Chains A and B, each alone.
Chain A
Amino acid sequence: MALELYVHIPFCIKKCGYCDFVSAPAGRGQQDAYMEALRWEICRRAENFRRRDGILEPESVVSVFFGGGTPSVAEASQIEKTMSCIRREFVVAEDAEITLEANPGTLTPEKLSCYRRAGINRLSIGLQSANDKELELLGRIHTFAEFKESYRLAREAGFKNINVDIMAALPGQTVESFTQGLWAVMGLSPAPEHISVYSLIIEEGTPFFSKYHRQAAAREAGGKDCSPLPSEEAERAMYEETGRFLETYGYGRYEISNYARPGFSCKHNIGYWTGIPYLGFGISAASYTGRKRFSNTPVMEEYLQAAGGADFKTIQKEEETVTKTRAMEEFMFLGLRMARGVSEKEFEKRFGRKMKDVYGEILKGMERKGLMGQRFSEREKGIFWYLTGRGIDVSNYVLAEFLL
């Protein structure tokens, strides 16, 4: 059975104004201590895995993802050591997808070649915007020129699978200025294999929240749009434009926010949406064993204190048992994020019940409202249900219906 691994590197050079991830700048000492603790956790969890199932062999690791924070802030040798540790403790498949998130301005040829040595074969670079003013406003540490330089170095180092993150709905952004950003990215040579486009979400607890939430609230209440944040209409237009634009460049939208050239969809993320078990290492990292979901403490001190001890379970929080009902719900609300949708056959195979018996009414109702559609897949010889464009726009409304 397949298994995915996630490694959280909670460091960055400077916290961005919109960021609500568990990350912060940290000194070298703390970074080293943390990376040491990470490897302790990897060993403990692998041991637990072996003890539980007797053997590890069938659990072949199909993907590894270094996320953050900014994993490229950490010393490359630490990443390399961590990868060796993973290979020692788990069985990593030959063709595993191994991704590392990086920020422009933190990459050097030395680091990049070290990553290659460690077996990392995919980079995800946080560009966010091709407009230097917007980058500054977001609190990013780099310019578009610096991004281009990092991108060139990555290609030179031999990375053949690169994702670029882009943000939409930034303050002051228009559909035109946003599209210009996409143009600029398409001008890279060769263009990225994968593009993720996210709307800026003003999350509670971030500096952006205090700055923008009052304006957002005024907007929600239907007052006139006094905020520099684009309207919902403009934001939707950016999404639609992204799809149209990237399609002409050979990218398919395979999930609400993700676009890829054929063969370059992110395996790791697809795993999340199709119910493949994963283990998360590091603070705030989430795991799914197929039976349970839980996540680690977000508190650095707690994590470091536990490290070295025998029991890693003390760092686990918010455990949730995934019952069959919950698994069915997840199958739907996660699977429907993907353009291909959810397979009736797969549902029946996994749960022993027909999707129509469980969700027939809802599926029909959503189809009637034009929010969902069904298509027959020749290859899989079965029906797939998917969200329409309008269905994606209001996907929370649709997906909530699939809770039993």
Chain B
Amino acid sequence: MAADQSKIRNFCIIAHIDHGKSTLADRIIEKTGLLTSREMQAQVLDNMELERERGITIKSQAVRTIYKARDGEEYQFNLIDTPGHVDFNYEVSRSLAACDGAVLVVDAAQGIEAQTMANVYLALDHDLEVFPVVNKIDLPSAEPQRVIDEIEDVIGIEAQDAPQISAKAGINIEEVLEQIVTKLPAPKGDPDAPLQALIFDSVYDSYKGVIVFCRVKEGTVKKGMKLRFMATGAEFETVEVGYFGAGQFIPCDELSAGMVGYLTASIKNVRDTRVGDTVTDGDNPCAAPLPGYKKVTSMVYCGLYPADGAKYNDLREALEKLQLNDASLQFEPETSVALGFGFRCGFLGLLHLEIIQERLEREYNLDLVTTAPGVVYKVHKTNGEIMELTNPSNLPDPSEIEYMEEPVVKAEIMVTTEFIGAIMGLCQERRGVYIGTEYMEDTRALLRYELPLNEIIYDFFDALKSRSRGYASFDYELKGYERSELVKLDILINKEAVDALSFIVHTDTAYERGRKMCEKLKEEIPRHLFEIPIQAAIGNRIIARETVKAMRKDVLAKCYGGDISRKRKLLEKQKEGKKRMRQVGNVEIPQKAFMSVLKLDDK
């Protein structure tokens, strides 16, 4: 039974973080009657435990619901959830490409933010119809009319009849559903044309293999059909097609042009089903793939090591399992003198890194040591070779380096005018190049900067928040590579260079970083029986030094009958602490010291 295209709405919800996207999605699912209130967990779409805790959506997901509109007709809604973080921009763009329209959620108190803008532009780039919704009208500080005017002025879309809702309190959700029907277009496409389906996500299932989430643009896909993945060239036979219930996969006979659903084909490797790729009929292929596919590249790298060296294989298995579901996670084995065997891992961004790290620790019960994250540098060698450097330890000798390049991003920072000075100061410190300012209204401005990526991967977001009392918002995209004066900073502990602590830094900030690093390590490294110098060096030149004084005393004066159990506990704690240390030469370094570079700006 072919679906009536005019009764389908494929859409997504776009919003700045915390403006209520997931809550609205929940309400839509609830109001369309697919689930009862009792069945609703707080946020149905975010089904990973971690996602719920962090309050963000990591992987895009989709759900199909049925809505009986005021015109008496039943409409099929395919709501495609999009990740809410700049790390996952590419996935956002593919999710948008699977939609025909978007609901723009704006917080009635906060108004437009940097991500609101970025997401709207992204949606308009994909030719989506967008209608705005003003959320959180039940807040005491809500100013819906001001926000409506702002949407019209700043974004330039009609907003006077925008539903004024509270997703949390369930106010005016009906109006949103009606506007989805009336304002968003139905999909187009010819069910009889050669198959052309866009992959916007995939998950790995141990029984079914990779489950590919797709939007059929042209043609029809059914069971038994031979499939070809155009970017990778891989071919499979379709085992199952279906659509998305809430939290479950519901098989059906076919998916035709305009529909959103999934397919399985006994695919073992998620790498064969890259997000953005086009699936076509192996026997009757379409002329060209859908536009916009690109291979995602890792932006941030770091070393991940098991705290317990014996867990190396467990870590490898865990990374392999995570990679089944996350093609953007890269890793390869590496060894460090200080940390032993581990992996150099590539991520889309720092949040992606943190999520993977947390999942490894939580779901796989691994204790990890993480080295300082860095970006990918391009090293132009004197022999004409260009090397992509992901691990500072591999930096060639300075005599072999012609020059180096680092990645630079175009950043947009939305800020209230009173903090413009503070934020410009911050960008200046981070080697930002000022591009321009756009005033949104009297009180707010959009600052445009070009910033080296390695200056924003650590703690830029936190610094931004603290210097603007939480009011600044931030979005960026990669601009490209630029030549830069970079050096490798080595850390020597008791005169021995510790490879896992080396990092690449701009010449101008090397001294400052080196000094802070030494100070931080001095706090982290416990006293030993001897004095321990901690030095920061560029090549053979020492640029900073601190000293961990020798332990003078560590003695318990009293130990009588009642103290023995306590004494044992104290000694056990001491011994346990030692186990968690890494031996470098004569010095025992606590594992958390390796991560201390991350927190250099704590004041």
Which residues on A are within 8 Å of B, measured CB to CB? Answer: 4, 6, 198-199, 201, 221-222, 232-233, 235-236, 256-257, 269, 272-273, 278, 280, 284-288, 293, 295, 318, 320, 326, 329-330, 333-334, 337, 369, 371, 392-397, 399-401, 403
Contacts and interface: CB of A to CB of B under 8 A. Distances in A.
A286 B555 contact: no
Nearest to A269: B560
Nearest to A199: B557
Contacts, number: 93
Interface in B475-529: 522-523, 529
B529 A403 contact: no
B557 A257 contact: yes
B564 A272 contact: yes
Given A222-B549, A403-B575, A395 B554 contact: yes
Nearest to A391: B555
Interface of B: 522-523, 529, 549, 551-562, 564-565, 567-568, 570-572, 574-575, 578
A199 B523 CA distance: 26
B552 A400 contact: no
Contact of A397 (B523, B529, B549, B561): B529
Contact of A233 (B552, B554, B561): B552
Nearest to A397: B554
Nearest to B546: A222
A396 B554 contact: yes
Contacts of B570: 396
B561 to A, nearest CB: 5
Given A278-B561, A334-B564, 14 more contacts: A201-B557, A235-B553, A256-B559, A257-B557, A269-B560, A286-B561, A329-B568, A330-B568, A333-B567, A392-B555, A393-B554, A396-B555, A400-B572, A400-B578
A293 B564 contact: yes
B571 A320 contact: no
Nearest to A326: B568
A163 B386 CA distance: 79
Contacts of B560: 269, 272
Contacts of A369: 529
A interface majority secondary structure: mixed
A330 B523 contact: no
Nearest to A337: B559
A21 to B, nearest CB: 9
B555 A256 contact: yes
Nearest to A390: B529
Contacts of A269: 560
A322 to B, nearest CB: 10
B562 A286 contact: yes
B552 A393 contact: yes
Contact of B564 (A236, A285, A288, A399): A288
A285 B559 CA distance: 14
A236 B575 CA distance: 24
A131 to B, nearest CB: 20
Contacts of A295: 562, 565
Query: Which among B561, B568, B578 has the highest number of chain A CB atoms within 10 Å?
Result: B561
B572 to A, nearest CB: 6
Given A333-B567, A400-B571, A400-B578, A232 B552 contact: yes
A334 B553 CA distance: 18
Contacts of A318: 565
Given A269-B560, A400-B575, A403-B572, A293 B555 contact: no
A256 B556 CA distance: 9
A186 B540 CA distance: 60
A397 B562 contact: no
Contact of A333 (B552, B555, B561, B571): B571
A329 B570 CA distance: 13
B551 A320 contact: no
Query: Which among A6, A285, A318, A395 has the highest number of chain B CB atoms within 10 Å?
Result: A395
A326 B564 CA distance: 12
A166 B564 CA distance: 22
Nearest to A294: B565
A394 B565 contact: no
B578 A236 contact: no
Query: Which among B523, B549, B555, B578 has the highest number of chain A CB atoms within 10 Å?
Result: B555
A397 B571 CA distance: 8
B589 to A, nearest CB: 16
A280 B562 contact: yes
A256 B557 contact: yes
Given A278-B561, A286-B561, A318-B565, A395 B574 contact: no
Contacts of B552: 232-233, 236, 393
A399 B572 CA distance: 10
Given A369-B529, A400-B575, A403-B572, A395 B555 contact: yes
A286 B554 contact: no
A61 B574 CA distance: 35
25 contacts: A4-B561, A6-B561, A6-B562, A222-B522, A235-B553, A236-B552, A236-B553, A257-B558, A272-B561, A273-B559, A280-B561, A288-B561, A288-B564, A295-B565, A329-B568, A369-B529, A392-B555, A393-B555, A394-B551, A394-B553, A394-B554, A396-B574, A400-B572, A403-B568, A403-B572
Given A269-B560, A285-B562, A396-B574, A221 B555 contact: no
Contacts of B572: 400, 403
Which 3 interchain pairs have the tightest Cβ spacing?
A286-B562, A400-B574, A232-B552
A357 to B, nearest CB: 20
Contacts of A232: 552-553
Contacts of A278: 561
Given A235-B553, A256-B555, A337-B559, A403 B571 contact: yes
A195 to B, nearest CB: 13
Contacts of A286: 561-562, 564-565
Contacts of A4: 561
Given A199-B557, A393-B553, A394-B555, A399 B571 contact: yes
B439 to A, nearest CB: 46
